[in-house]
Chain A
Amino acid sequence: MELNWSTFVLEIVNFLVLIWILQRFIYKPVLKIITQRRAEIEKQSADAQCLHEDATNLKKQYQNRLNDWDQERQLARDNLNKEIENERIRQLDELQRERVQEREKIKTAEERRYIETVREIEHQALRQGAQFAARLLNIASGPELETRLISLLIEELNALAPHKVSLLQEHWGEAPGSITVCSVYPISEGQKKLLETALAKTIGQTLPVNYTQEPELVAGLRITIGAWVLQTNVRDELKGFEEFARVAR
């Protein structure tokens, strides 16, 4: 084993040349391309980072905007709900008021209708009562009733208080020439005398009495002394009923 100096020197030279070859064709190009790639990757990474930051900012802005929108929406919804609630309360109040008014109207109308009905019933009852009384009197009238009415008249005239008699005489006016007595049936002589006596006492003088008959009176008398007419008959009473019914209506 001995050192071959030629080989030794040549190997040194060869290796140095190999270093140059590798440096020239391998290391420089590879390191350059790796550097370029790293630069490219870093650039892309930086771009991606920028994009990421932009996206993050946009996302934040969008999130903030969404939050603002949510708040505005919530506020608008609350306002709307409040307005709806106020409107509902207002309409309910109005409805309640209208209902009360309507109820009042209905109540008033009912009361009016009730009053009308009661009045109608009363009127009808009065009319029916008058009709019934008229029919009853028509049926029940006769000479006996008339006699009784004449008796009642005579009693009434005789029972008149003096101040009433004087009051009648004051309102008498011009003194009448005669007295007209209308009846349905002929009056008996006894009743004529009693009647003339009562009349003379009432008017304070004796006047001639003319007796006539008028079947429309149904029963009773109608005595005409000048302007003064004394009604004591069924027809006039029935007329009075009718008048009362008309007035009551």
Chain B
Amino acid sequence: MNDVELFAAPVFELGPVAITSTVITTWGIMILTWLCAALFSYRIRLSPGAAQTALEGIVSAMETAIANVAPQHTQKLLPFIGSLWIFLVLANLSGLIPGVHSPTRDISATAALAILVFFSTHWFGIREQGLKNYLRHYLRPSPILLPFHIISELTRTVALAVRLFGNMMSLEMAAMLILLVAGFLVPVPILMLHIIEALVQAYIFGMLALIYVAGGLQSQTLRQRKKQGDSHA
């Protein structure tokens, strides 16, 4: 159990760019997703079959989950949040394939996703409210809280990356340790746990991302509603 096993090592290099197994697995997931999606979009019909019904169910479930948090921005958030859920489920579950490591056990991948969530929060917030209004919410309720807001933004992004990375890496390590200690078929229950953990972690990451982005989108809206409520009172 060395660094190579714990962390993704470069498989090959394209000039200055080192291609790790994480990237290759991600590409595999992307190709698989693209093929399935292309096939699906080619065969999509108004009267759905079983596969189309399942996929529509998944999309509708994601849409409903987003609508429960940010009902006014469902269509806007669905591509980003939905893609997070789909990618994370596939990435987390890819660790079950023998010889393939889950991309999410690489801190570089989870950090990349967390950074995307970080920038997406500000991107959606600024697009919705404007730069001035968006930045103003860091000064509320008091400008004194600005440093805390900034620390909060950074730490929650780091926590987002580290939580997913830590859970997935520890899961793989636990399975590997049990395999080394106990034998060939003993880690099977752990693999079952892997499936549940993969789904749960994907859901948590996506839901947190959704809450952060929705928070950035709706901070101004909530403030305006509060003002209106106070004036009516």
Contact = CB atoms under 8 A, between A and B. Distances in A.
Interface string A35-51: 01100100000000000
A77 B100 CA distance: 93
A21 B82 CA distance: 12
A1 B7 CA distance: 7
A6 B82 contact: no
B44 A29 contact: yes
B41 A26 contact: yes
B29 to A, nearest CB: 8
Interface stretch (A8-16, A115-123, A219-227): A8-16
A15 B113 contact: yes
Nearest to A5: B108
Given A22-B83, A27-B78, 19 more contacts: A1-B7, A3-B111, A4-B18, A6-B18, A7-B23, A8-B108, A10-B26, A11-B109, A15-B113, A18-B30, A19-B83, A22-B86, A29-B40, A31-B78, A33-B44, A33-B45, A33-B56, A34-B60, A40-B46
Contacts of A7: 8, 18, 20, 22-23, 106, 108-109, 112
Given A25-B37, A34-B60, A11 B22 contact: yes
A26 B59 contact: yes
B177 interface: no
Contacts of A9: 112
17 contacts: A3-B111, A7-B22, A7-B108, A7-B109, A8-B112, A10-B19, A11-B23, A15-B112, A22-B82, A23-B83, A25-B37, A26-B59, A27-B78, A27-B82, A33-B46, A33-B56, A37-B46
Task: Give the residue among A2, A22, A37 with the most B Cβ atoms within 10 A.
Answer: A22
Size band of the interface chain A makes with B: 20 to 34
- Output the residue of A16, A18, A31, A37 with the most chain B CB within 10 A: A18
A30 B59 contact: yes
A33 B43 CA distance: 12
A21 B59 CA distance: 15
Contacts of B8: 4, 7
A218 B23 CA distance: 180
B87 interface: yes
Interface in B86-117: 86-87, 103, 106-109, 111-113, 115-116
B46 A36 contact: yes
B56 A15 contact: no
**Could you tell me the dominant secondary structure of chain B's interface residues?**
helix
B40 A26 contact: yes
B116 A22 contact: no
Contacts of A15: 83, 87, 112-113, 116
Interface of B: 6-8, 10, 16-20, 22-23, 26-27, 29-30, 33-34, 37-38, 40-41, 44-46, 48, 55-56, 59-60, 63, 75, 78-80, 82-83, 86-87, 103, 106-109, 111-113, 115-116
A3 B107 contact: yes
Contacts of B7: 1-2
A30 B33 CA distance: 15
The 3 A-B residue pairs whose C-beta atoms are closest, nearest first, are: A25-B37, A11-B112, A7-B108
Nearest to B110: A11
Contacts of A152: none
B27 to A, nearest CB: 7
Nearest to B86: A22
B78 A18 contact: no
A19 B38 contact: no
A66 B105 CA distance: 78
Contact of A1 (B20, B56, B60, B107): B107
Contacts of A37: 46
A89 interface: no
